[in-house]
Amino acid sequence: MMNEPSYRRKGKPLSTEEKWMVVNVYYQCDQERKEGKYTETKDAHTRTSNYTGIGRRQVVDIIRYYNETGHVPIPARAGNRAVHQTTIPSLVEEPIRKLILDKHLEGVVCTAKHVQDLLKRILQKDIPHRTLCDHLNRMGFNYTRTRKKTRSLRETPQVRQQRHSYIHDIRKFRNAGYKTVYLDESFLHHYHGHQFSWFNQDIGDYLERPSGKGRRWCFIDAMLEKGLVSNACVIFEAKKSSGDYHDMFNAKHFQEWWNEK
């Protein structure tokens, strides 16, 4: 096994998961050494290097760091970045990390606007949005959804035609002297929240959010041009588990609300 080639691509920095793998393999090899189960060599560092395809010197550094701190070293950034100038100095990276972590611990999502405001206070200048996002990516942050959600669909020609017909009818009735009453229904989940936030690739997501959406509250209301119609609002809890809130606003519910309110 000592002469077998490494199948790991050279030149690529080790990730945090790979370094933890080195720690696990090393202590397994060390345990086998103590029990006398080794075959090719007693040195646990060398055996770990042979099993993982990682240089022995790097294995020694990772194990030494782990023994001293209880953690593995943070991943190194590939390439020579000394010649690439940036408008965001490295001294503000620690306040940025603290801001994002504090926002998550408070249960508040963190957007680029929060980081821009922080840097404006520290550096006394505005940082462009694209520049800031690129720098956050280099720091190991990703702007991703807190939970999966489908995107909106584009309107069909039939829907656009319905809107044009609606506007035509509204103009006709206004010219005839009628007062327009606007009404609509919607819903809101009990645990409603923002879907995006900045996350650290290595530390993970500290933002605490409920596992479910909670109760679904449906509401319907009406308004005139001068304001809402008095006592027209109705709010109730949706009981159906299938479908969206439209299942609750059927013809029966609408007629009851129209006649009573």
pLDDT at 148: 55
Alpha carbons 45 and 247: distance in angstroms, whole number = 64
Q: Which amino acid is at 234?
A: V
pLDDT at 117: 94
pLDDT at 2: 45
Of 177 and 55, more confident = 177
Per-residue tokens: 112: 């680029």
Mean pLDDT of 20-42: 79
Give yes or no for a contact between 182 and 222, defined as CB atoms under 8 angstroms apart.
yes
Which ranges constitute the DSSP H helices of 3-92? Answer: 16-35, 44-52, 56-69
Confidence of residue 114 (pLDDT cuts 50, 70, 90): very high
- SS3 percent helix, strand, coil of the chain, rounded to 5, is 45, 15, 45
Q: What integer best gives the mean pLDDT of the chain? A: 79
> 103: part of which helix (H) or strand (E)?
helix 93-105
Q: Which amino acid is at 186?
A: S
> 111: part of which helix (H) or strand (E)?
none
Among 34-48, 87-101, 138-152, the range scoring the smallest mean pLDDT is: 138-152
Report if pTM > 0.75: no
> 186: part of which helix (H) or strand (E)?
strand 182-189
Confidence of residue 149 (pLDDT cuts 50, 70, 90): very low
Q: What percent of the chain has pLDDT over 70?
A: 80
pLDDT at residue 132 tops 80: yes
Confidence of residue 55 (pLDDT cuts 50, 70, 90): confident
pLDDT at 82: 53
